[in-house]
Copies of this chain bind each other. A is one copy, B any other.
Amino acid sequence: MSTNRKIELITSKENECIKRLKKLHDKKHREELKAFLVEGVKAVKEALDYAIEDINLLIFSQEASKKYEEFFSRCISLLNSGKLKRIVQVPEKIFEHISTTTTPQGVLAECSFFDKELDVLKKHNRVVVIDSVQDPGNLGTIIRCADAFGFECVITVNGTVDVYNPKVVRSAMGSMFHVDVVREKKKEELVGTLKKRGFALYVTTPYGDVDISKLSIDDRFAIVIGNESRGVDVAFLENATKKVKISMPGKAESLNSAVAAAIVLYELRKK
């Protein structure tokens, strides 16, 4: 087939490309190479649709190129038209070696970092700030909810799990390509910028005085989601416009932290 002439086949773990992909499992190397991995058909499709210029490389296992034939053909067209830089095929064994999951689908992309700086705030009105969330699944779920409920920007604070961690990317299910991501900012700088730009600052705390369902929502606001056990840092609490809580009429004293975040974002959704 003349159309796929540019697809490379790599069969050795010692190949530089494979070694590089394996390195991207670790934050240290991601920071060094300014690149990360996106795995799974759904997430890679979102990357193609929303961030094709950030994709350095697509990897298909040989089985996956057959199983997802239509998707594979589309990628070949994008390669031939010059929109996609590079496609590599690998045997299953090599794919398992570079995969970030235990049950790989056989589709993976290497993307360049695409996080933004705080100046993107000037064009946004609905922002989620994530303060020290530790569990990658929780962070991914929060990014997915932020997207679903019409937020435009997600900002992580220093001490939060890396947004480019493969588990975060996986549980975000492509949503990180739909919002502007700003990462690992200092609390003080962030609070200052938000204030200067006229954002109302909402924080979630079990000791909040406003029931989230009764909050009158400002046109421009940032909602702060805190750490799973410690909650939101004092730097945000002290500068909060409103301290909000979720009313719980039953006997449970608390909610799972990802669930609590999801409900808060749901209540603040774009209407």
Q: Name A's B-contacting residues (CB within 8 A).
A: 141, 144-151, 171, 173-175, 178, 246-252, 254-256, 258-259, 262-263, 266, 269-271
Whole-angstrom distance between the alpha carbons of A249 and B246 in the complex?
22
Whole-angstrom distance between the alpha carbons of A247 and B249 in the complex?
24
Contact residues in B for A250 (Cβ distance below 8 Å): 146-151, 175, 178, 270
Pair A251/B144 contact, Cβ less than 8 Å: no
How many copies of this protein are present in the complex? 2
The residue on B at minimum CB distance from A212 is B266
Whole-angstrom distance between the alpha carbons of A87 and B178 in the complex?
55
Query: What are 19 of the A-B contact pairs (CB < 8 Å)?
Result: A144-B252, A144-B259, A145-B256, A147-B250, A147-B251, A147-B252, A148-B248, A148-B250, A148-B254, A150-B249, A171-B256, A174-B252, A178-B250, A178-B251, A178-B252, A246-B266, A250-B270, A256-B258, A258-B259
Report the minimum CB–CB distance from A269 to chain B (whole Å). 6
Report the minimum CB–CB distance from A178 to chain B (whole Å). 4
Q: Is the interface of A mostly helix, strand, loop or mixed?
A: loop
Pair A148/B252 contact, Cβ less than 8 Å: yes
Contact residues in B for A247 (Cβ distance below 8 Å): 269
Whole-angstrom distance between the alpha carbons of A150 and B266 in the complex?
19
Whole-angstrom distance between the alpha carbons of A271 and B147 in the complex?
28
Contact residues in B for A171 (Cβ distance below 8 Å): 256
Contact residues in B for A266 (Cβ distance below 8 Å): 246, 263, 266
Pair B249/A270 contact, Cβ less than 8 Å: yes
Whole-angstrom distance between the alpha carbons of A141 and B141 in the complex?
14
Whole-angstrom distance between the alpha carbons of A263 and B144 in the complex?
14
Pair A249/B149 contact, Cβ less than 8 Å: yes
Contact residues in B for A149 (Cβ distance below 8 Å): 248-250
Contact residues in B for A256 (Cβ distance below 8 Å): 141, 144-145, 171, 258, 262
Report the minimum CB–CB distance from A262 to chain B (whole Å). 4
